[in-house]
Amino acid sequence: MTDYKTIPTPRKEACMSALTDLSLTEALAKLESREVSSLELTQAHLQQIERYDPQVQAYLTVSADLALEQARAADAARARGESAPLLGAPLAIKDVLSTKGIETTCASKILKGYVPVFNATAVQRLLDAGMVMLGKLNMDEFAMGSSTENSGFFLTRNPWNLDYVPGGSSGGSGAAVAARMALGALGSDTGGSIRLPGSFCNLAALKPSYGRVSRYGLIAYGSSLDQTGPMTRTVEDCARILQVIAGHDPLDSTSSKAPVPNYLDAMRQGVQGLRVGLPKQYFGEGLQREVREAVMQAVEELEAMGASVQDVDLPYSDYALAVYYIIATSEASANLARYDGIRFGLRVEKGDMIATYKATRGAGFGDEVKRRIMLGTYALSAGYYDAWYGKAQAVRTLIKRDFERAFEQVDVLAAAVSPTTAFKFGENSADPLQMYLADILTVPANLAGVCGMSVPCGFDDAGLPIGLQLLAPPMREDTLLRAAYAYEQAHDWHARKPALVS
Ligand code: GLN
């Protein structure tokens, strides 16, 4: 599916890698001052993709022709004196987001060949802000997974060590940005899918509050949990993308009408007086030694910068994983009913209509997706509904209240993103429960609708990145960015580069 044939040979070989090393913010400054053109920047990224993606396999589709056309248009617009927040910046999009005229598969064979006739609102807003779209990124099928091993097409490798997973489900987004094959990317997070690959790939990665970013055109997994958000190499880059995609959308009735603050201003306010909470339940058994040490060190540094630190209690945390896997699978079983071979993508004709449905779904969905549909259908079925789905919803409310109470005492919560750093291919994939445990520290935020972020905070003994997770109340992405930015400024973790692309 990946199409490399139209990638031109770049003219200035030597400076190409320097161009792909720029952060989004630095690249925008160079575009603005005309030091570099969008065409040069885009060609450099396409060259980087040509060079590294055969190993990393982050892209499902490279839209090279479109990108070059958009880059020329961006340069022409700038020459006419026009400006826009992301004018001429090459970014890439997780394949869960609908892109008009460009195949959108959710990494599922059942959507092979599906070409949307509209753009997701988040994508449209990036295009309106001047993005150059490099292509569509690999993921776990329908965003179900934590390693990108569940892609229906191929797995994506972690640029920090090709034997390790990049995390999931937005693993293509994480790997592409870490390998300098895009200045930034969009991911989606239902239970951790932005933050987890963010932490495994050493990125700044932000899951907005539920309702902060429109879900229109985001192919639904768990509709009460899903959010789209940015994955970049710096906190400032994250803020820039969030600024563009946040805000009410009449096409998504769950999108919030709350005003969108100026994130770049908010980010720079420092952490003097900021109250940081450490959820006791997030520091229990099973936390890898280096992860615990790096997170505690980061918290001490926030304290040294003027923040106050206290323990907080989230007593219902122990139930979050179970509740999540009932609610997410229940919603998925309903959302995925539409893939029946009639309207979208794959169709396996088999005599009558019911037989065609069955044959199409049997051939089109992968094992994990089938497992989730069965779990969800069971949880919703008559006779079991109250015991499973009903109970899960009740406990979800208790989890939400835990966060409300905690945020009466503190402004942000700090923890690890995942109990461990990236794991090897196959290490968790034979045992679904083991894989689900990677999400234990990320799913509560989705259940409660709060915002969360992963920020690079160190490396383990094997040289794999560690992420600091910060959580803030609904619609307080400004606070999240403020804490993340202050921490990032004191370190160079985010500036380190995988050996592969050095
Ligand atoms: N790993 C979790 C799951 O499989 C989260 C996925 C996500 O956030 N999309 O459901």
Per-residue pLDDT reduced to its tens digit, 27-40: 999 999 999 999 99
pLDDT less than 70: residues of the chain: 1-17
Nearest atom (ligand 1) to Cα of 438: 1
368 within domain boundaries: no
233 within domain boundaries: yes
pLDDT digits (tens, 9 = 90+) for 229-268: 999 999 999 999 999 999 999 999 999 999 999 999 999 9
Contact 421, 200 (CB under 8 A): yes
335 within domain boundaries: no
Q: Which domain holds residue 432?
A: 11-322+389-501
Cβ-Cβ contacts under 8 Å for 177 (sequence gap 6 or more): 92, 183, 184, 185, 201, 203, 231, 232, 233
Number of domains in the chain: 1
pLDDT digits (tens, 9 = 90+) for 100-143: 999 999 999 999 999 999 999 999 999 999 999 999 999 999 99
Mutation to probe ligand 1, out of 146, 369, 442 (largest number of atoms < 8 A from CB): 146
Helix (H) or strand (E) holding 93: strand 90-94
Sign, CA dihedral 265-267-268-274, equals positive
Residue 328: CB within 6 Å of ligand 1? yes
What is the CATH classification number for the domain harbouring 200?
3.90.1300.10
148 within domain boundaries: yes
350 within domain boundaries: no
Ligand 1 center from residue 196 Cα (angstroms) = 9
Nearest atom (ligand 1) to Cα of 145: 4
Ligand 1 center from residue 381 Cα (angstroms) = 23
Length of the chain equals: 502
With a threshold of 0.85, does the pTM exceed it?
Answer: yes
- The predicted pLDDT at position 16 comes to 59
Contact 147, 165 (CB under 8 A): yes
Cβ-Cβ contacts under 8 Å for 380 (sequence gap 6 or more): 330, 333, 334, 388, 389
Ligand 1 center from residue 376 Cα (angstroms) = 14
Nearest atom (ligand 1) to Cα of 143: 9
103 within domain boundaries: yes
Mutation to probe ligand 1, out of 108, 169, 323, 442 (largest number of atoms < 8 A from CB): 169
Residue 194: CB within 6 Å of ligand 1? no
Cβ atoms < 10 Å from Cβ of 460:
17
- The predicted pLDDT at position 11 comes to 47
Nearest atom (ligand 1) to Cα of 192: 8
φ, ψ of residue 32 in degrees (nearest 5): -60, -40
- The predicted pLDDT at position 66 comes to 98
Mutation to probe ligand 1, out of 151, 221, 323, 437 (largest number of atoms < 8 A from CB): 221
Residue 187: CB within 6 Å of ligand 1? no
Q: How far is the C-alpha of 205 from the C-alpha of 198, rounded, in Å? A: 5
- The predicted pLDDT at position 313 comes to 97
- The predicted pLDDT at position 264 comes to 98
Q: How far is the C-alpha of 310 from the C-alpha of 294, rounded, in Å? A: 18
Residue 147, preceding bond cis, omega within 30 degrees? Answer: no
Cβ-Cβ contacts under 8 Å for 8 (sequence gap 6 or more): 43, 46, 68
Ligand 1 center from residue 191 Cα (angstroms) = 5
Ligand 1 center from residue 475 Cα (angstroms) = 22
131 within domain boundaries: yes
Q: Would you put residue 338 in left (φ > 0), alpha (ψ -120 to 50) or beta?
A: alpha
- The predicted pLDDT at position 14 comes to 47
Q: How far is the C-alpha of 322 from the C-alpha of 206, rounded, in Å? A: 24
Nearest atom (ligand 1) to Cα of 328: 10
Residue 144: CB within 6 Å of ligand 1? yes
5 within domain boundaries: no
- Tell the residue number behind the tokens 């094997």, with chain if given: 462
For the annotated catalytic residues, the residue numbers are 94, 169, 193
Residue 333: CB within 6 Å of ligand 1? no
Ligand 1 center from residue 44 Cα (angstroms) = 32
